[in-house]
A and B are shown apart, each in its own frame.
Chain A
């Protein structure tokens, strides 16, 4: 029971801790900052979660983020945002499609496919940009970023709204529609799903496309945030999103977990990082803490499984017998 709501508890604990102890935490400005960073990662994490639920792994999301950021900004001067953004997003979908085809049709392990794709994209990014980051210098450079950050309501900016919109959509989709539940089945027992007529190959491909889509969307949002696409844009994202997804309860084995839980995990991690910075600890601590939390969660689950294996199958009547015997 605790397991299912673990992430919510964790979030509340972390939030309260920071609210009480971290200096300058609980004010509009700071909370807005949190909302801003969270927004972009949360979007990307949606796709990753869905791929994981299908029982596959997408290690290429970090590089998709960077790549689409580069494409989105790089093409802006030729096509304007109205052109470059859709193209960037389509590129992400295209990469996801290739990943999906290789995994589902060529039947290559997703670890291999996405690891290889990540390397390919790294090369592509450098080749495309010639090693320089792209930044905009025109007056409207920050226009979009500003618009996205305009506060409509306290804490709610258009950027946040977009994110929450996607979160709500995908959460409902995965929980309450037939297609969404089929993703779980594909991850839970692929063979059975296939025999029952579910197009498992198709679902896996779609999962990767969604992952590419959300990564591209995140990349564009990231890039527009700073109006610069640095070559390190998506580097830390992979670790961050993997951590959040696993902490949120989506298992690597597939068939379990959820988009909303990943979202709460992202929120929690962002609050945590924010607090760390406010405490005056540097960037390095963030990486360390992220890894530490992930390791803790993984170890916790492994240990729980280990303990469970030891006692599974115990019979209640026999245990009761023991109590009476020792009680005498």
Chain B
């Protein structure tokens, strides 16, 4: 009787071990696995004639162009989520604000305008950093409030007007430079935003995985108090996360404003949701301390592929919204469920 119990228990042990290894592989590579699945889906649909032009170089570049902007913003958002503070909901207005400030400041030249924009963006990030890092305000409510305040500022100062870079610029050169933020291409193919994204991915991945800040951020995201009791300067670490998020939001704001060629209060709308979706689909849990930048890039790619396939299938923008919302819930739910079954409680 004991022997059968022993045998059973070793069998079960082995099964448990393989299951946990499987889960581990699945979660890290899983994101790219899903991305590959979407790719396959696109290919299948193309082969079966349902859609055209999926597997063309142009289409692939289109996808990458579309997600570059999202990817830039998602990089910074990832730091905030990783720190255990869910999301920075002030990103949309930070994008709009820095964009419109840049356009306004073009009258002093291109580079001064960009520098001023970054200062403004980092100021907003700094406000978030102090409130959430030092005073432990609720991140969702606080960044939501900052979002409204920023929106108010934009609409107050520019009174709902839209301003145009070519009109504001001090010189033609400045205006052209600004336009080129979005439009410049290396070798006529590789857009500048994509280059930004690639550089950001490499840099951010390195920061998160290999630097003291990244490791301390992981500890802080996992268990804030424990980090404090281990000598980590928790306030500083969280502040840096929010500043990074504001920085990428600024870059994204400049890019999206360049894209739309107009400084306005609605640039950046919806990017909070899109960025959080990418981050979460990419494997970062809302509870913090888990996931990777490469994963987030995977999430961005998945969203890009998904949008592209839906557009090629002829699904309308708003229906796409519905599907995106549903998938968002689904992905997070499944992720949380699989983590829970492993015995880790999470978002």
Q: A residues touching B (Cβ–Cβ < 8 Å)?
A: 57, 102, 106-109, 111-113, 115-127, 239, 242-243, 246, 252, 282-292, 294-295, 298-299, 301-303, 305-306
Q: Given A108-B333, A302-B136, are A295 and B322 neighbors across the interface (CB < 8 Å)?
A: no
> When the two chains form their complex, are residues B333 and A242 in contact, meaning their CB atoms are under 8 A apart?
no
A291, B153: Cα distance in complex, Å: 10
> When the two chains form their complex, are residues B156 and A284 in contact, meaning their CB atoms are under 8 A apart?
yes
Name A298's contact: one of B142, B160, B286, B319 (CB within 8 Å). Answer: B142
* B332: interface (CB < 8 Å): yes
B332 to chain A, nearest CB (A): 5
Beyond contacts A107-B337, A120-B321, A292-B152: 14 other A-B pairs, Cβ-Cβ < 8 A, are A107-B336, A108-B329, A120-B326, A252-B138, A252-B141, A286-B152, A288-B149, A289-B152, A290-B148, A294-B144, A298-B141, A299-B137, A302-B136, A306-B135
* B314: interface (CB < 8 Å): no
> When the two chains form their complex, are residues A119 and B273 in contact, meaning their CB atoms are under 8 A apart?
yes
> When the two chains form their complex, are residues B322 and A299 in contact, meaning their CB atoms are under 8 A apart?
no
A-B contact pairs, 30 of them (CB 8 A): A102-B333, A107-B333, A108-B332, A111-B140, A112-B332, A115-B325, A118-B273, A120-B322, A122-B321, A123-B319, A124-B322, A125-B318, A126-B317, A126-B321, A127-B318, A252-B140, A282-B159, A284-B156, A285-B152, A285-B156, A287-B152, A287-B155, A291-B145, A291-B149, A291-B150, A292-B145, A295-B145, A298-B137, A302-B138, A306-B136
A302, B135: Cα distance in complex, Å: 5
A243 to chain B, nearest CB (A): 8
Q: Given A113-B329, A116-B326, are A302 and B152 neighbors across the interface (CB < 8 Å)?
A: no
Closest to A297 in B: B145
> When the two chains form their complex, are residues A123 and B135 in contact, meaning their CB atoms are under 8 A apart?
no
Closest to B135 in A: A302
Q: What does DSSP make chain A's interface, helix, strand, loop or mixed?
A: helix
Count how many chain B residues have C-beta atoms less than 8 Å from C-beta atoms of the other chain. Answer: 47
* B320: interface (CB < 8 Å): yes
Residues of B contacting A289 in the complex (Cβ-Cβ under 8 angstroms): 152
Residues of A contacting B325 in the complex (Cβ-Cβ under 8 angstroms): 115-123
Residues of B contacting A118 in the complex (Cβ-Cβ under 8 angstroms): 273, 325
* B347: interface (CB < 8 Å): yes
> When the two chains form their complex, are residues B141 and A115 in contact, meaning their CB atoms are under 8 A apart?
no
Residues of B contacting A242 in the complex (Cβ-Cβ under 8 angstroms): 141, 144
> When the two chains form their complex, are residues A112 and B326 in contact, meaning their CB atoms are under 8 A apart?
no
> When the two chains form their complex, are residues B148 and A123 in contact, meaning their CB atoms are under 8 A apart?
no
> Which of B86, B131, B138, B144 has its CB near the most chain A CB atoms (within 10 A)?
B144
> When the two chains form their complex, are residues B328 and A116 in contact, meaning their CB atoms are under 8 A apart?
yes
Residues of B contacting A252 in the complex (Cβ-Cβ under 8 angstroms): 138, 140-141
Residues of A contacting B136 in the complex (Cβ-Cβ under 8 angstroms): 302, 305-306
> When the two chains form their complex, are residues A109 and B332 in contact, meaning their CB atoms are under 8 A apart?
yes
A39 to chain B, nearest CB (A): 23
Closest to A251 in B: B138
Interface residues of B in 320-347 (CB under 8 A from A): 320-326, 328-329, 332-333, 336-337, 340, 347
* B151: interface (CB < 8 Å): yes
Closest to B157 in A: A284
A111, B160: Cα distance in complex, Å: 30
B281 to chain A, nearest CB (A): 11
Closest to A252 in B: B138
* B301: interface (CB < 8 Å): no
A229 to chain B, nearest CB (A): 16
* B316: interface (CB < 8 Å): yes
A57, B86: Cα distance in complex, Å: 13
Residues of B contacting A121 in the complex (Cβ-Cβ under 8 angstroms): 325
Residues of A contacting B72 in the complex (Cβ-Cβ under 8 angstroms): none
Task: Bits for B117-141, please: 1 = Cβ < 8 Å to A, else 0.
Answer: 0000000000000010011111011
Name A112's contact: one of B151, B153, B329 (CB within 8 Å). Answer: B329
* B278: interface (CB < 8 Å): no
Residues of B contacting A285 in the complex (Cβ-Cβ under 8 angstroms): 152, 156
* B245: interface (CB < 8 Å): no
Interface residues of B in 270-301 (CB under 8 A from A): 273, 276, 280, 286
Residues of A contacting B318 in the complex (Cβ-Cβ under 8 angstroms): 122-127
> When the two chains form their complex, are residues A302 and B137 in contact, meaning their CB atoms are under 8 A apart?
yes
* B146: interface (CB < 8 Å): yes
> When the two chains form their complex, are residues B273 and A115 in contact, meaning their CB atoms are under 8 A apart?
yes
